[in-house]
Structure 1
Amino acid sequence: MDRRELLKLVTLATGGVLIGGQMFLSGCKNDPKLGGVDFSAEDISFLDEVGETILPKTKTPGAKDAQVGEFMKVMVNDCYDAEDQKTFHEGIKALNEACEKMHKTGFMEASPEQRQSLLISLDKEAKEYQKKKNDFDGEQKKKEKEEKEKGNKDFKKERMQSHYFTMFKQLTITGFFTSKIGATEALRYMPVPGKYDGAFPYKKGDKAWAATG
């Protein structure tokens, strides 16, 4: 899957552009001075389970098979700025607390059904939050333009942080569909280079096309 097409998929699924998307597209890494969020082995396992609840294994591999926890670690450290790193890291604790509040148990101890109901609730919450954020960002962009027209070069836009679950969901989707297992087993796979055949037969139920490169 082309990276730009993937960004469109992420935006459609979460209502917001991929956080750190420009860094992701360019392949750049953060300044080493920024430092990275310290992820423990427990954090990675936790994120794998969150990802697996979002994209579970069925007849095709799930998020855990694609090791999305490790992918999230790399993306957060390489492509997130310091504020987003902080929000993401605090989100691990927030999601676990939300599970304890809803089901009286931690996320890792929760049943698949409990995990699913929790994430459905958080997804709804995150999408409502994202709508407010989009409106806020739009107003700030408008204000920035007005201030620049006035000659105010010192104006700085205010910032509304993203919802942590939006981050988890975005990185789960991105990590899965950029992984080898996601591209070759969860999608119909055609290696690149290869010829384009616009008349290639398609049957209902076939997987979507994917290509590596």
Structure 2
Amino acid sequence: MKRRELIKLVGLITGGSMIGGQFFLSGCNAGGKAAGGAFNEANMALLNEIGETIIPTTNTPGAKAANVAEFMRILVTDCYTQAEQEAFIKGISEIDVVSNKMHKNDFIKCTPEQRHEILVSLEKEAKEYNQKVWEADKPEREKFKAEKRPYNFVPSPKHYYSMMRQMSIAGYFNSEIGAKQALEYLPVPGKYDGAYPYKKGDKAFY
């Protein structure tokens, strides 16, 4: 899947623009340096389990099989601003704080049902948090828009769970498993069919 199509898909599913999407699209480095050693073995395992709760294994492999944690590591390291990196890294430890408050156990030790409850709770929290961030950013955002340089505006970091959810979805559909098993896979450029039905007025293929 092309990067632009992936960003549109994530936005459609999550109802918001993909965090770090502008850097992911351009392939540029966002300049953040906070990631450091945050992506250790334990944290990678946790992120894969969070992804698996968001996209579980059914008749097709889930997010864990697609190793979405590795996608998160790359995207956060290369495409997140310093502030976004710091928010995400803080969120990794915050997951277990929330988990212990709700179920007296770390997330990775919780049952699938308990994990689902935790993420539903975080989804609600994230929605409220992101709305407040949007409102707080509005004056600065409008200023850049009035100056006709909206792409220079750098928004405040959104809730860490929004980041994790978006990257779980993006990482999954960007993987071979997601592309070939969850989606209808059409190899590029595909086969040539000189007798394909055509009606006058139909658009030509690109």
TM range (shorter): 0.7 to 0.9
SS in 2 for 1:57: coil
1:130 corresponds to: 130
1:172 corresponds to: 168
- Cα distance in 1, alignment partners of residues 112 and 163 from structure 2: 21
Deviations 1:87-142 (A, max 9, x none): 11110111110010011111011010000011011112112222233333333212
- Cα distance in 2, alignment partners of residues 96 and 64 from structure 1: 19
2:35 corresponds to: 36
2:68 corresponds to: 68
Q: Where does structure 1 differ by over 6 angstroms across 4 or more consecutive aligned residues?
A: 196-199
Deviations 1:34-70 (A, max 9, x none): 3633111001000000000000010011000110011
Counterpart contact for 2:68–2:167, Cα < 8 Å: yes
Matched positions, count? 191
1:18 corresponds to: 18
Counterpart contact for 1:16–1:134, Cα < 8 Å: no
Counterpart contact for 1:63–1:172, Cα < 8 Å: yes
Shift of 1:187: 1.1
Counterpart contact for 2:35–2:86, Cα < 8 Å: no
1:79-94 aligned at under 5 Å gives the runs 79-94=79-94
Name which of structure 1's ranges 156-165 and 119-128 shifts more when overlaid on structure 2. Answer: 156-165
- Cα distance in 2, alignment partners of residues 35 and 133 from structure 1: 21
The letter of the residue matching 1:61 is P
- Cα distance in 1, alignment partners of residues 181 and 105 from structure 2: 34
1:44-193 aligned at under 5 Å gives the runs 44-145=44-145, 160-193=156-189
- Cα distance in 2, alignment partners of residues 158 and 67 from structure 1: 29
Q: 1:12 to 1:131 in 2, by over 3 A?
A: farther
SS in 1 for 2:22: helix
Q: 1:163 to 1:195 in 2, by over 3 A?
A: same
- Cα distance in 2, alignment partners of residues 60 and 172 from structure 1: 16
- Cα distance in 2, alignment partners of residues 35 and 129 from structure 1: 22
Q: 1:196 to 1:13 in 2, by over 3 A?
A: farther
- Cα distance in 2, alignment partners of residues 122 and 35 from structure 1: 23
Shift of 1:188: 1.4
Q: 1:157 to 1:72 in 2, by over 3 A?
A: closer
Q: 1:196 to 1:119 in 2, by over 3 A?
A: farther
Shift of 1:30: 4.5
- Cα distance in 1, alignment partners of residues 192 and 21 from structure 2: 28
- Cα distance in 2, alignment partners of residues 79 and 145 from structure 1: 23
- Cα distance in 2, alignment partners of residues 27 and 115 from structure 1: 34
